[in-house]
Amino acid sequence: MKWEVVIGLEVHTQLTTQSKIFSSASTAFGAAPNTQTAVVDIALPGALPVMNKAAVEKAIQFGLAIGAKVNQRSVFARKNYFYPDLPKGYQISQFELPVVEGGAITINVDGVDKTINLTRAHLEEDAGKSVHEDFHGLSGIDLNRAGTPLLEIVSEPEMRSAAEAVAYAKALYSLVTWIGICDGNMQEGSFRCDVNVSVRPEGQKEFGTRREVKNLNSFKFIEQAVKAEVQYQIELIEDGGKVQQATVLFNPDTGETRAMRSKEDAHDYRYFPDPDLPPLVISDEWVERVRSELPELPAAMQARFVEQYGIPAYDAATLTASKALAGYYEATVAAGADAKLASNWIMGDVSATLNREEKDIVDTPVSAEALAGLIRRVSDNTINNKTAKDVLRKMWDEGVTDPNGADAIIERDGLKQETDTGALEAIVDEVIANNAKSVEEYRAGKEKALNALVGQCMKASKGKGNPGVLTELLKQKLA
């Protein structure tokens, strides 16, 4: 039987506020346990929550960025359950009336665009952390994270493969970091994914029973967890079994998913509107102000790059992967680099070196202006491509930010390309004399032999020869 996979995601994004969603305690990561808690966060009796305006504004930004409806009126509700990292006995969340409804995100898998619709996004508070090291058979509780503002973003079950789920998560990640509502630090838990997975026979209308994989904090884990779940569910059904709705955990060490011990009452949260918090009202003026301050979004910037710089759509998509990368590209072109060459260099050597050194573009030691200086010397044939790669390496190691830094290195290390035909002719003559076999093969019609000869000439010129000029000279002399 052919099976169809159905996936929906719930993503918890931690919002980049200074203070918590309902208290004025700091949200900074990594402080000593319980030093960033206010009376509201530890639920002292009588302490009342007061809503953080910035958290609301970030939710509005997100709603506008995905073309969703920002509700003029939304309601906070209590989600009731008992767990030690939640001292109130309930989490303040939104249930019937969330702040954001609808919207969509476009993903691209294997060159094909697909629109994923979103159900909703709602504001809520994070819980604290349990530390399970052994405290004489007890657990330790740190409430620094309790009350950190979260925007939970819920998609429709419209993804049909692990690749689509990952593409969606990445597109969402890129968007929330782009508009700056989330710092995107996945190790610190700023972007956590719950993935709902089910399978059904192809062509069947009804969804199968889903299992929810909780708390995935890397794109790789999303892919592995979905694949493990799909395999588990299909095998179970084909063996005559039935999928039971469950919450499961993914173990990255074994690559397996495991159902959490089911708590029979786990899903009976008895939501009701929180009497401590009257409805959140968002005026049209507020929404319009946020709209006017929204940065150019990735999709719009991609289209502009193609239009303005005449680069291929693939380049534009790659360069707009992050705001910082796009900014670096634009600065390079603005400093006088050819638009397509700048794209090649940034997607090529610059990105490769960053990857190798596990650095982000914001940490690149070579400024956009300095890179433009290097690219100009490639454009005007002062150096060839191979030499340019070496110069970039030196600029990288020396941390060159001066716009004329490349020129200084070319001058200092004597790397200027030899275009003087007289000098090159001497080299060509010598190479022809010393490589009789290749010369013979070329004359016999083997085009490839010419490449070998050009290579010899480049070597003899210590990499400074212009390969175009050398090829022409060889052809003339061997004609």
Q: Smallest distance, Å, CB 233 to another protein?
A: 22
Do 61 and 182 contact (CB within 8 A), yes or no? Answer: no
Do 26 and 19 contact (CB within 8 A), yes or no? Answer: yes
> And the tokens for 97?
């009336």
25 binds another protein (CB under 8 A): yes
Contacting residue, 255, 281, 289, 476, with another protein by CB under 8 A: 281
Max CA distance (Å), the chain: 96
Contacting residue, 255, 279, 295, 468, with another protein by CB under 8 A: 279
Q: Give dist(CA 84, CA 143) in Å, integer.
A: 10
254 binds another protein (CB under 8 A): no
> Of 18-26, 63-71, 236-244, 429-437, which part binds another protein (CB under 8 A)?
18-26
135 binds another protein (CB under 8 A): yes
> Of 134-142, 187-195, 209-217, 302-310, which part binds another protein (CB under 8 A)?
134-142
What are the backbone dihedrals phi and psi of residue 305, each rounded to the nearest 5 degrees, phi first?
A: -60, -45
55 binds another protein (CB under 8 A): yes
Q: Smallest distance, Å, CB 360 to another protein?
A: 26
Q: Give dist(CA 349, CA 351) in Å, integer.
A: 6
Q: Give dist(CA 437, CA 431) in Å, integer.
A: 11
Do 222 and 169 contact (CB within 8 A), yes or no? Answer: yes
Contacting residue, 102, 157, 189, 273, with another protein by CB under 8 A: 273
- Amino acid code (one letter) for 20: K
Q: Give dist(CA 131, CA 222) in Å, integer.
A: 24
Q: Smallest distance, Å, CB 313 to another protein?
A: 39
Lay out the site mask for another protein across 86-125 (x = CB under 8 A, - = otherwise): -----------x----------------------------
Q: Smallest distance, Å, CB 47 to another protein?
A: 11
467-478 and 448-460 helices, crossing angle to 10°: 120
Residue with tokens 């000869």: 453
82 binds another protein (CB under 8 A): yes
Q: What is the DSSP letter of 12?
A: E
280 binds another protein (CB under 8 A): yes
Contacting residue, 29, 33, 297, 477, with another protein by CB under 8 A: 33
Contacting residue, 3, 4, 10, 26, with another protein by CB under 8 A: 26
> Of 270-278, 295-303, 433-441, 461-469, which part binds another protein (CB under 8 A)?
270-278
**Taking the CA atoms of the chain, what radius of gyration do you get in angstroms?**
29
Q: What is the DSSP letter of 474?
A: H
Contacting residue, 54, 186, 246, 299, with another protein by CB under 8 A: 54
142 binds another protein (CB under 8 A): yes
Selection from 308, 309, 382, 385 nearest residue 345 by Cα? 385
Contacting residue, 5, 7, 86, 143, with another protein by CB under 8 A: 143
Q: Smallest distance, Å, CB 4 to another protein?
A: 32
Contacting residue, 13, 14, 52, 343, with another protein by CB under 8 A: 52
Q: Nearer to another protein by C-beta: 280 or 311?
A: 280
- Amino acid code (one letter) for 64: L
Q: Nearer to another protein by C-beta: 188 or 402?
A: 188
Q: Give dist(CA 160, CA 167) in Å, integer.
A: 11
18 binds another protein (CB under 8 A): yes
The secondary element (H helix, E strand) that includes residue 460 is helix 448-460
The alpha carbon dihedral of 356, 359, 365, 368 has a sign of positive
Residues 384-423 that bind another protein (CB under 8 A): none
Instruction: Give the dihedral of Cα atoms 143, 149, 103, 158; nearest 10 deg.
Output: -10
Q: Nearer to another protein by C-beta: 3 or 81?
A: 81
> And the tokens for 44?
């002292």
> Of 44-52, 234-242, 289-297, 385-393, which part binds another protein (CB under 8 A)?
44-52
Contacting residue, 84, 201, 295, 310, with another protein by CB under 8 A: 84
Q: Give dist(CA 274, CA 54) in Å, integer.
A: 20
> And the tokens for 156?
């429709």
Burial of 306 (0-12, 13-18, 19+ CB in 10 A): middle
Q: Nearer to another protein by C-beta: 140 or 327?
A: 140
Q: Give dist(CA 235, CA 227) in Å, integer.
A: 12
268 binds another protein (CB under 8 A): yes
Q: Nearer to another protein by C-beta: 97 or 321?
A: 97
Q: Smallest distance, Å, CB 27 to another protein?
A: 7
* 418 strand-pairing partners: 465
198 binds another protein (CB under 8 A): no
Contacting residue, 4, 47, 51, 171, with another protein by CB under 8 A: 51
Do 27 and 36 contact (CB within 8 A), yes or no? Answer: yes
Q: Smallest distance, Å, CB 85 to another protein?
A: 8
Do 287 and 60 contact (CB within 8 A), yes or no? Answer: yes
Binding site for another protein (CB under 8 A): 17-19, 23-28, 32-38, 42, 44, 50-56, 75-76, 80, 82-84, 97, 130-132, 135, 137-143, 260-261, 265, 268, 270, 273, 275, 277-281
